[in-house]
Structure 1
Amino acid sequence: MAFSNPFQTYQKQAVSTSRPEELTYMLYQGLVKYIRIAKNSLENKNFEESNTFILRSQDILSELMITLKTGYPVTDSLLSMYDYMKARLIQANINKDQQILEEVETYAVELSETWYNAMKEMKIKN
């Protein structure tokens, strides 16, 4: 008899019932989390774990990129930003560079906070 992990069940439920803007926020939160884990792993010379979480961060950026509706100035800017962040993560992974991870983390935190504030504003207006 197989037992399910309650946390995984909760996560799947949260994702399947969330609105698109909430899903985007979850992606931003995951991006920040994974960059921080990668940074900590790199600091502890755990290169394999650092690589794993840098790759997960890149996957999140790829997901954010494919969900954008291009052709608008703001989405074109976001696409460029995501592309830049992804390229920097690749450099951080190759060079095992903590400073690059800190740079990308700063951008990820800023994007997450901005998105959260935008969602709050939309709730107030509605």
Structure 2
Amino acid sequence: MSNLNPLNAYRETNIKTASQGKLIIMLYEEAVRQMQVAVAELGAGVPKLDLVSNSIIKAQDIITELMVSLDFDKGGEIAKNLYSLYVFFNQQLMQANVQKNAELISPVLDMVQDLKDAWSQVFAKAGTGTSGMPGGVNIAG
């Protein structure tokens, strides 16, 4: 990222200094945002298919990052269930991208939003939403 752009510099600093909990929330938020872009663009009269495809791929990349960050030793059954969900999400998004079908994105978008909200509550109750956990994305589930 270029530090010449103040917004990019702010984002980079925000990511580098974020707690584990905050990073997880940020990943979910960006996945939601990317899926919203794809759904909105598919609803446009003449959708920009490259924008749709790129947004879906970005959402898939984020979900893959969440997937590989799961800690199955600490997370147990929750981590396994999250992994299965993430696999399903990526399969749905792949089909949505191939078919350019917003109806395949919407349920994934809703579930990712629900997961983001649930994690936000977990980190808020644990008092680790903005501090208390080291940076990184290795989540226990």
Q: Distance in 2 between matches of 1:110 and 1:99?
A: 18
Distance change (3 Å), C-alpha of 1:97 and 1:6: same
Task: Give the gaps of 5 or more residues in structure 2.
Answer: 133-141
Q: 2:79 aligns with which of 64, 75, 80?
A: 75
**Equivalent pair of 2:21/2:123 in contact (CA under 8 Å):** yes
Q: 2:93 aligns with which of 64, 89, 94?
A: 89
Partner in structure 2 of residue 60 of structure 1: 62
Runs (4+) of structure 1 exceeding 3 A deviation are: none
Which of 108, 111, 125 aligns to 1:107? It is 111
Work out which of the residue numbers 117, 121, 124 in structure 2 matches 1:117.
121
The answer to whether the Cα contact below 8 Å between 2:3 and 2:9 also exists between their aligned partners in 1 is no
Cα shift at 1:21 = 1.1
> 3-state SS of the aligned residue for 1:4?
coil
Scaled by the length of structure 2, what TM-score is found? 0.83
State the 1:104 CA deviation. Answer: 0.8
Q: Secondary structure at the residue paired with 1:35?
A: helix
SS in 1 for 2:4: coil
Residues 38 and 102, structure 2, Cα contact 8 Å, conserved in 1 = no
Give the RMSD, CA atoms, in angstroms: 1.7
Q: Find the residue that maps to 1:68 and give its secondary structure.
A: coil
Q: Distance in 1 between matches of 2:3 and 2:103?
A: 42
Q: Using the alignment, how far apart are the partners of 1:24 and 1:104 within structure 2?
A: 17
Q: How many pairs were matched up?
A: 124
Alpha-carbon distance, 1:53 to partner: 0.2
Aligned-pair CA distance for 1:3:
7.2
Determine the C-alpha separation between the residues in 1 that align with 2:107 and 2:80.
21
Q: Which runs of 5+ in 1 are unaligned?
A: none
State the TM-score, normalizing by the size of structure 1.
0.93
* Aligned equivalents of 2:54, 2:43: Cα separation in 1: 14
